[in-house]
Structure 1
Amino acid sequence: MLRRADRGAERLERALEGGPIPHDSDTRRALAAAGGLTPGHGRNPARVEETHDVMMAAFMRALNPSETRDDAGTDDGLEEIDLHRTEVSLPDGGQLVLSDLEEITPERLEEAAQVAAEILARRAKDHHS
């Protein structure tokens, strides 16, 4: 039996090295198993190096965070923003509150009121049907 296993191993080795593929089922199954173990794709060395460099850069940023300034956020204009707010009564007794960073013009206010009134009217129809 040992001799039979040696012959099977020799046939498999020859087939793996590119020689003729034997027709016996044991060697074919062994070849299929060996094919299942081989990777489906090769690794691109340039992408591996690029990934390594990006990971190391992120690691170094985590180890050495940027220094924060004591005056961070001052004089950047963010604390000076005015929020414009207007309240409007809708025709059916509803109340619309419109807030914006920009100046609210009467045209924009009227347009927003019309859109809100249309939405409320559609919802009222849905509830009655």
Structure 2
Amino acid sequence: MSRRADQSERLERALDGGPIPHDEETRQMLAAAGTLRPDTRRSPARVRAAKEAMLREYERAQNPQEAREDAGTGDGLDEPEIHREEVELPGGGHLVLTDIEAITPERVERTADRIARILQSSEQKDRLS
């Protein structure tokens, strides 16, 4: 039997759980094979956390919450009222303000002035270019 075949056979026996050979080459090959094997150790903390999560989910599925008779009333999830104001801008523009909060006349005026200034400044830039 050739030397290479002998080494291969010793390596296979060692990988199958047989006696570990004492020669340095085979030990190095075993170490290399061990680094290629995927790590199968599991963290005990992660196993425990997964088990606890499964038990919590099982408990929740077995004991669903009872539906409240007053569900949907006063829980803040009702449809909010949408406020809307339309304003004509100088120069023929049209502005629509929409908000879930009340829109005051002062807010409408401030916003319209701000938009009018932005439009005027962009018109002036267009004339310069």
Q: Does 1:14 align with 2:20?
A: yes
Contact 2:82–2:98, Cα closer than 8 Å, also in 1: yes
| Partner secondary structure for residue 74 of structure 1 | coil
* Partner in structure 2 of residue 90 of structure 1: 89
* Partner in structure 1 of residue 71 of structure 2: 72
Q: For the residues of structure 1 that align with 2:87 and 2:125, how far apart are their CA atoms?
A: 23
Alpha-carbon RMSD across the aligned residues, in angstroms, is: 4.0
Q: For the residues of structure 2 that align with 1:78 and 1:10, how far apart are their CA atoms?
A: 69
Q: Which runs of 5+ in 2 are unaligned?
A: none
Distance 1:102 1:44, change over 3 A: same
Aligned-partner residue type, residue 31 of structure 2: L
* Partner in structure 2 of residue 62 of structure 1: 61
Identity of aligned residues (%): 41
Contact 2:11–2:30, Cα closer than 8 Å, also in 1: no
Which stretch shows the higher mean deviation, 117-126 or 86-95? 117-126
What TM-score comes out, normalization by structure 1 length? 0.60
What TM-score comes out, normalization by structure 2 length? 0.60
Distance 1:65 1:112, change over 3 A: farther
* Partner in structure 1 of residue 37 of structure 2: 37
Q: Which runs of 5+ in 1 are unaligned?
A: none
Q: For the residues of structure 2 that align with 1:123 and 1:45, how far apart are their CA atoms?
A: 68
Using the TM superposition, give the Cα deviation of residue 60 of structure 1 relative to its aligned residue in structure 2, in angstroms: 3.0
Q: For the residues of structure 1 that align with 2:57 and 2:114, how far apart are their CA atoms?
A: 48
Number of corresponding residues: 121
Aligned-partner residue type, residue 98 of structure 1: L
Contact 2:84–2:99, Cα closer than 8 Å, also in 1: yes
Aligned-partner residue type, residue 14 of structure 1: I
